[in-house]
Amino acid sequence: MKVAGTIVRFRTLFWLAAALTLVVALVLAFRSPPVQADIGEITRGPLTVVVRDEAKTRARNVYVVSAPVSGQLLRVGNRAGERVEAGAVIASIKPASATFVDERSRQEIQAGVRSAEAALALAHAELEAAEARLTHARQEASRTETLFTASVASRSAVDRARLDVRTATAAVGNAQAGVGVQQAALEAARVRLLEPAAATSGRTVTIRAPATGRILRVFQESESVVGQGAPLLEIGDPGDLEVVAELLSSDAARISEGAPALIGAWGDGAPLRGRVRQVEPYGFLKVSALGVEEQRVNVIIDPVDPPAAWAAVGHGYRVEAAVTVWRAEAVVRTPLSALFRHQGHWAVFKAEGGHARLQRVEIGQNDGEYAEVRAGLEPGDRVVLHPGRSVADGTPIRARPSAAGAE
């Protein structure tokens, strides 16, 4: 009996162990495997927020030299980059040559010349008639005064005779002026028939440099006909530069005068330091490369580094300006890739005990890589980076082997 009882107990323990093994196997079989995830750490350190956009350099004082008169611009001998002194002759303009006249226009002009000649002949005839009337009026006035002396003519007759003389004299002057007008009209008509080579005359106009500097651009180098006000050269000092950044108006509103800036993407050298001198008060509309209308504002930045550091940068260079709008030396910060929106708030998944725990956070500034944490996390906490749909509150997680500081 004792042996039988031992066998029964052995069988009972065997089947209990087998059942327990089966239960454990089922639990392990149906349990979700841990999700591999990248893990990041909450740290305390500096955070700098910048506004970054393309910009260009320009000489601080640029003089655009324009043609003061229309005419034939002589070939400009100066080249871009050459130094010029204030008052030096940099260009010359001659009066433009007359244009050739086609046959139809020539016949019209010749008809105009004949008309002017006839009008001049008529003016001479009118002048002769006026002079004849003046001679007759003077003779009549002389006879009337003689009769008045002999007490034959009255005083009123003498006055009328003198009035006729004055009227005839004025008529002669008017006729002489008419002759002058017709002579000028005839000369103008004849000038239009002159050939271009014969019509060229007049003195050359010289153009002088308005300031000492270097020639930045030559708009018109070859000899050609230019109109009044046409730009010819651009003069400035490339050693005295400023940077103009066309920023979105929403970004420009965050920038204050005196804010530090870094100027990069100008070459192989390190970024150059600058400081905001002015945020222009007027915005302007600009269409982006994608066809989007944007309201932009010019932000003027002065160099801070010595001129030697800017020696490789010239007028009109494309650069990239990064203006600091906010900076703190020690803030709690989280990688921006750990943040997501949950029920209208920012949240992260904390890595605790091998599981992901949903944690709501309050954030402040961000620099595109890190965000300031104002509440919800502490330095040393670990969070899931780039959480996907496979991660939820309570999901088992395991750090990828390549992740720094994996659990």
pLDDT at 406: 38
Contact 276, 255 (CB under 8 A): yes
pLDDT at 24: 63
Q: What are the CB-based long-range contacts (under 8 Å, 24+) for 93-97?
A: 93/67, 93/68, 93/69, 93/204, 93/205, 93/207, 93/226, 94/200, 94/202, 94/204, 94/205, 95/71, 95/200, 95/201, 95/202, 96/70, 96/71, 96/72, 96/225, 97/72, 97/196, 97/197, 97/199, 97/200
- In the chain (407 residues long), the average pLDDT of successive 10-residue segments reads 58 71 60 78 92 92 89 84 88 76 80 86 88 88 83 82 86 87 85 63 80 88 86 89 93 93 88 94 89 93 90 90 92 93 92 90 91 92 90 86 49
What gap in Å lies between CA 47 and CA 70, rounded to an integer? 60
The sign of the CA dihedral 78, 81, 87, 88 is: negative
pLDDT at 165: 84
What does pTM read for this prediction? 0.61
The two structure tokens encoding residue 102: 């086609």
What gap in Å lies between CA 247 and CA 257, rounded to an integer? 14
What gap in Å lies between CA 80 and CA 241, rounded to an integer? 17
**Strand-pair partners of 385:** 38
Angle between helices 155-191 and 103-149 (to 10 degrees): 160
Beta strands 318-335 and 340-342: pairing type?
unpaired
Contact 261, 321 (CB under 8 A): yes
Beta strands 355-360 and 43-59: pairing type?
unpaired
pLDDT at 308: 86
